[in-house]
Amino acid sequence: MKRKLLPMAVTSALLSFGHATHAADSVIVLGEIPVTAQGNGTLLTRNILTSVDVLGADQVEDKNVANSWELVGQMPGIQLTETRMGAESGKATFRAFNGEGYINGIKVLIDGIPSNVNSGNQRFIDMIFPLEIDYIEVVRGTNDPRYGLHNIGGNINIGTRQGGNYTDARVTYGSFNTREAQVALGREADGFSQNYFFGVQEADGYRDHAHSEKYTAGAKWFVTSSDGDLKAGIVVRAYHQKAEEPGFLTAAEMAANRRQSPAKNANDGDDRDMGHISAHLDWRISSDLFFSNKLYFNSYRDDRRVTFTSNPVGSAPRQRRQWDEDQTGLLSTLTWNANDMLALEGGLNVERQDNHYRRDRYTFATPTSFATPVQTQNNDDYTLNNVGVYVQAIIKPTENLKIIPGFRADRFSGDTLIRTTGVTAPLQDYGWINQPKLSMVYSPTQTLSLYANWGRTFQILTGSRDPAYLTSGQRTFAPSINTGKELGIKIKPTAQSDMRIAVWQQDATDEVANMPSTGTTVGLGQTRRKGIDFQLSGQVTDKLNLWFSHSLQEAKVMRAFTTGGVALAGKEVIATPRHITNIGADYRASDKWRFGMQGRAQGDYFIDDLNAQGKFGGFVLWDANARYNVSKNFSIDVQVKNLTDRQYAYVWYDNFFWPSGSEQPMYSPGAGRAAFVSLNWKM
C-alpha cells in the first residue's frame, strides 16, 4: 500500500504526483509523494525560497546502499565523501562544503529532530534504512531561520513513515556476500497510529577485512483527537553496528591490489550504538493559531580502533577513539496565519549536550595491538548548551509578490574537564550570534517565478579542548559569520516538468578547519564559496521520467592565515570538486516491468591546503535497475551498481602520521561492479 501521510512541513509544496509543484515556489521534486488533505500548521519549507529538493519514497525504497547517506547522492549538487572505513563510512554535503570532517557545514534532521553529533558529523543517518524513509528534503543556502548549530550551508531532513496501513518487507542478497532484510509495519484506526520498523544488514565488503553487521529498530505511536486539533506521539529508535576497518592504502599498495587490507589494520574496527526517543505534541489552538513541540534525547556511543599508517615512528598513527555523547533538546514553534496577506511564526530551541571523548595511542606493531595504551591523549568531559530563537513572516502585498523577512539568534555556553591534567575551562564566549534573513519571490505567471534570498549563518568551534574551550593562554575566537545570497529562476516548461537555475555565493569570516577527533585546527581566514546550479526534471511521456542536474562550484580562501609560513589566500579549500552532475531515467514499460538508469559524476579536487599535491578523486559512475511485479503484492528487482566497473577512490593527504618529507596521498578504493537481487512484499 502507498504511504498515506506526509508531515505538514512539505505537504503544501507537493501534489499527488512527483513533478506537479507550482512555479511560485523554489521546490523541485523527484519521485512520487502521496499527500493527504492540507490544513493550517507550521510554515512550510517551500516558503524559505531557496533551492529546495525533495526525493520521494519511490526513488529510495528500492535502492541497495551500504549506508543511507548514499541515498542523498541522487539529488542535485550533492557531494558524497566515501571514506568507507567501517562504521566511519562517509557523508553527504553540498554548496562547496566537503565531507572531510574539518568544516561540518550541513545540518541533519530526522523527522525534524536535530541529528548531528557534537562535531557536526552525520552518524545518526545510519539509524534509518531505505524502506522506512518517506522522503528526503534538502534545503540549500543561508536563509532558513529554523535551525542554527551546524546549519551553515543548509540542511538535510529525512522524513520517516508515519500513519497508514501497510505491511512491507524487502530481502536482499548481492555482491560481497551482502544480506539485508527490512520490515515496515503501519496500522492506523480511530485516531491511533502505530508504525514499526526493523532492519538488519551484513556484508563482507568490497575489500578484505571490511565485514560489517548492523541492526536497527524503531517504533512510533501517535494519538489524534476526534476533532483533529490535538496530536501527540512518541518515537523510539535503537541501532547497533560492528564493523571491521580495511585501512587506507598508499598509491603503491592500491596499484598492487586495490582490494587488500594491509596487515597493520588487522585489528582495526568499530563498535557503535545509537539511540533516540522523542515526544511530539501538535495543538491547533484555533483556526489560525498552531503550536508544535518536540522534546528529544539522542545518544551516541562509539569505540573505534584505527591504524593510519605503517610508520613505526611514534604512537600517533595507532589510536583508539571513544565517544560517549548525549543530547537533550526541545523545539517549539508558534504559528499565526493572520490572513491571506500575513503569517507569522516564532520558534525556540534548547539543547544540552553531555559529552565524553577519550583517545589513546599505542606502540608500533603489525597489526596494531590495542591491549595497552602508551599514552592517553584525550580523556575529556565537556558540555555544550545552545539556546536559539527565531521569527519569520510571510508577507504578500500582491498576488504575485511574496516577501519573507526572518531573524535568528543563538547563544552557547559550556565547560570542559580535561581529566589527564585536571584543567577545567569554559566554552568560548560568542555572545548572541545574530542572523538576519530576507527572501522574496515574484511570480508574474503560474509557470514562472523569480526568487532571491540573503541571509547569515555561523560556524562555532566544536570538540572537547582548545580552541573550542578557553584553556590558559588560548586566544578568543569570534564566530565565523557566513553571509549568503542567491538569485534563482524556476520555470515549468510543461505541466509535468520543472527547470531551475540558481546563482549563489557564500562568504565566511575567519573560517576554521577544525577536526575535534585529532585536535587539529587550521585557521583558513576569509573564504568564498560560489556556484551555479542547473536542474531539469520531468515526465516526458506517460511511461518515461528524466532528470538532469549540473552544479559548478568553487571554494577559495580570500584572506588567510598562513600554513608553514605560506599564505593560503587564493588557494582552493581542500576536497571540493569544481563540478557535480546527476542524470537519470525511469521507464515504466508496463504494469509488470520498470527500468531505471542513474549516472553520477564528480570532479577532481585538491587534497592539501597549499594546492601543491595535485588533484584527485573524480569519477563517473552508472547504476542500473529493473523491477518485475509478479503480482499486486510481490515484486523482484535487480540493481547493478558501478555498471562500467569504474576504478575510483576517496583520497586524502596524510601529512600528520608520516615523518617530514614522507607525506603522501592515502586512498580508500571505491567498490567495483556489484549486483543485488531483492524480493519485495507490499500488503
Alpha-carbon distances, residue 669 vs 84, 251, 255, 260 (angstroms): 8, 10, 11, 10
pLDDT at 557: 94
pLDDT average, residue stretch 340-349 = 96
DSSP string, 38-64: ----SPPGGGG-S-EEEEEGGGTTT--
Q: Is the pLDDT confidence value at 471 over 70?
A: yes
544 half-sphere exposure, CB direction, 13 A CA radius: 6
Of 216-230, 508-522, 592-606, the poorest mean pLDDT is in 508-522
Helix (H) or strand (E) holding 518: none
Closest CA to 239 of 315, 126, 119: 126
**Per-residue pLDDT band at 562 (split at 50, 70, 90):** low
pLDDT of residue 561: 62
pLDDT digits (tens, 9 = 90+) for 595-645: 999 999 999 999 998 999 999 999 999 999 999 999 999 999 999 999 999
Spatial CB neighbours of 281, under 8 Å, sequence gap ≥ 6: 230, 231, 232, 292, 293
Question: Grid coordinates standing for 454?
Answer: 540573503
Burial class, 585, CB count within 10 angstroms (exposed 0-12 / middle 13-18 / buried 19+): middle
Asked if pLDDT for residue 49 goes beyond 50, the answer is yes
pLDDT reported for residue 64: 94
Residue 651 confidence (pLDDT): 97
* Conformation bin of residue 330: beta by default, left when phi > 0, alpha when psi is -120 to 50: beta
Give the rounded percent of residues in the chain with a pLDDT score beyond 90.
85
Q: Dump the DSSP string for 214-273.
A: EEEEEEEEEEE-TTSSEEEEEEEEEEEEEEE----B-HHHHHH-TT---GGGTT-EEEEE
pLDDT of the residue at 659? 82
| pLDDT exceeds 60 at position 158 | yes
Q: What integer pLDDT is reported at residue 71 of this predicted model?
A: 96
d(CA 602, CA 616): 11
Q: How far is CA 310 from the centre of its chain?
A: 32
The DSSP output letter for 88 is B
Spell out the domains of the chain, with CATH numbers in brackets.
Answer: 8-682 (2.40.170.20)
Our CA dihedral for 397, 398, 399, 401, rounded to 10 degrees, sits at -70
Query: Does residue 610 sit in helix, strand or coil?
Result: coil
Q: Per-residue confidence at 481, pLDDT binned at 50, 70, 90?
A: very high
What local confidence, expressed as pLDDT, does residue 33 receive?
Answer: 65
Question: What cell was used for 247?
Answer: 585501512
Grid cell, residue 633, equals 503484492
What confidence score (pLDDT) does residue 39 get?
43
Minimal CA–CA distance to 62: which of 677, 544, 588?
677
- Higher-confidence position of 583 and 13: 583
